[in-house]
């Protein structure tokens, strides 16, 4: 088995020298293991022949070529100054090497740097521990960047603290994406609140008009459709900020009131996403199918069930469509297509036609089978 050799890292005038420990002591020997692994730091080690002809020049070249900003600080000097930094550190911060060496890392902090994150860094240095955190830093030109910092101690072969190692990575784009996502979700919640109010106002107007015209039954039917639209939109608003929504959420929400025990309607759908604009017509069509099933179909009997599935399909023209299949079982016997299908289905078919969609219905002996198809643009 190849013996591990220990590489001592020494910095003189900002240059790193790496020399081999000639004592030949194994780093795993009982008298050094406890010290060498104090805190969570580990000394520099290399397997036999890993660094053939290893030298300070080799280490410097490696640090020069990495895209990750790296620095070392000396905790034995006053104020724990930076004693080494690579070119990536200069590119990230905008400072030259002669402006970096001798500075404490706090010179990158500014008015909006989180004091709590700074306190975590100080505690890690005090306890010679490893810490990984994100904090807002400032470049030489005053611009800010989010820094993903990895900070940890480096020990010599005797387990004594030599330096602190810090690597920095600019994660500003990630923070911007997070902020945009939070803003979109906040806007979605506000839209959801306002949308509920709109549906409530519409419902109130319909009820008042129905009473004034002595058309309570008609008003009730209109309100049922308005509420179905509201249920379809509500669970999908957070998703809408992404440009598409999860179809299954809307389908379940629309049909939930028709199956309070969750044992009559069985859902079987892929994780399919579709355009937010499709939700209104899908929600209204499903409402009409469920209402019809409650009055005349599977849900009008104690044991009737409905299977509903959805998926993306490609038609003969190569267009992607959202296809929702509806199958009833256990309802009253059917002896053919009814003479009239009702105003609700007429409304649904008209709305689907505006989007080049379609509703197909087949009255089979054991129950209605229907398919909703809606192109995805």
Are 230 and 261 in contact by the 8 Å Cβ rule? The answer is no
Place of tokens 């499709």: 278
State which fold the 175-375 domain adopts: Heat Shock Protein 90 (3.30.565)
pLDDT band of residue 157 (cuts 50, 70, 90) is confident
| pLDDT the model gives residue 201 | 64
Q: Which residue has the higher pLDDT, 293 or 187?
A: 293
pLDDT winner (highest mean) among 185-194, 208-217, 318-327, 345-354: 318-327
Instruction: Dump pLDDT digits (tens) for 208-218.
Output: 777 777 877 77
Domain ranges in the chain are: 5-170, 175-375
C-alpha distance from residue 269 to each of 49, 136, 247, 312, 324 (Å)? 57, 44, 9, 10, 9
CATH topology identical between 5-170 and 175-375: no
Place of tokens 């709109």: 198
| Whether pTM exceeds 0.85 | no
Chain mean pLDDT for the chain: 77
| pLDDT the model gives residue 23 | 41
| pLDDT the model gives residue 262 | 87
| pLDDT the model gives residue 308 | 95
Q: Which residue has the higher pLDDT, 242 or 372?
A: 372
In words, the CATH class of domain 5-170 is alpha beta
Q: Is the pLDDT of residue 95 over 60?
A: yes
The token pair that represents 196 in the structure block = 């509920």
The token pair that represents 364 in the structure block = 């089979």
Alpha-carbon torsion (153, 156, 162, 163), positive or negative: negative
Q: Which residue has the higher pLDDT, 223 or 52?
A: 223
Mean pLDDT calculated for residue range 156-165: 89
C-alpha distance from residue 168 to each of 153, 177, 367 (Å)? 15, 19, 65
The DSSP result for 326-354, as a single string, is EEEESSS---S--S---HHHHHHHHHHHH
Q: What is the C-alpha separation between 167 and 367, in angstroms, rounded? A: 66
Are 291 and 300 in contact by the 8 Å Cβ rule? The answer is no
pLDDT band of residue 337 (cuts 50, 70, 90) is confident
């Amino acid at each position: 088995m190849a013996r591990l050799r220990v590489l001592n890292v020494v910095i003189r005038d900002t240059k790193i020298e790496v020399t081999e420990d000639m004592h030949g002591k194994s780093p795993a020997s009982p008298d050094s293991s406890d010290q060498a692994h104090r805190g969570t730091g580990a000394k520099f080690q290399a397997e036999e022949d890993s660094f053939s002809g290893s030298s300070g020049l080799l280490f410097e070249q490696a640090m020069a070529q990495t895209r990750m900003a790296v620095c070392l600080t000396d905790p034995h000097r006053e104020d724990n100054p930076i004693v080494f930094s690579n070119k990536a550190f200069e590119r990230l911060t905008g400072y030259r090497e002669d402006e970096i060496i001798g500075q404490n890392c706090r010179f990158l902090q500014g008015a909006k740097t989180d004091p709590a994150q700074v306190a975590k860094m100080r505690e890690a240095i005090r306890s010679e521990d490893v810490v990984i955190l994100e904090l807002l830093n400032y470049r030489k030109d005053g611009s800010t960047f989010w820094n993903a910092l990895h900070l940890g101690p480096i020990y010599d072969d005797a387990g004594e603290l030599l330096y602190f190692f810090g690597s920095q990575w600019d994660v500003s784009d990630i923070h911007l994406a997070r902020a945009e996502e939070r803003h979109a979700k906040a806007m979605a919640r506000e839209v959801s609140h306002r949308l509920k109010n709109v549906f409530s106002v519409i419902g109130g107007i319909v009820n008042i008009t129905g009473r004034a015209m002595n058309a309570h039954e008609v008003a009730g039917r209109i309100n049922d459709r308005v509420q179905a639209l509201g249920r379809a939109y509500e669970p999908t608003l957070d998703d809408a900020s992404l440009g598409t929504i999860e179809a299954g959420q809307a389908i379940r929400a629309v049909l939930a009131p028709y199956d309070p025990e969750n044992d009559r309607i069985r859902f079987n759908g892929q994780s399919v996403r579709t355009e937010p604009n499709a939700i209104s017509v899908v929600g209204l069509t499903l409402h009409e199918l469920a209402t019809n099933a409650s009055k005349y179909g599977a849900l009008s009997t104690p044991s009737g069930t409905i299977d509903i599935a959805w998926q993306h399909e490609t038609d003969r023209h190569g267009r992607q469509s959202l296809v929702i299949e509806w199958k009833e079982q256990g309802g009253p016997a059917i002896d053919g297509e009814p003479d009239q299908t009702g105003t609700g289905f007429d409304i649904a078919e008209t709305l689907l036609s505006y989007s080049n969609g379609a509703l197909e219905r087949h009255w089979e002996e054991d129950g209605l089978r229907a398919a909703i198809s809606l192109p995805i643009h």
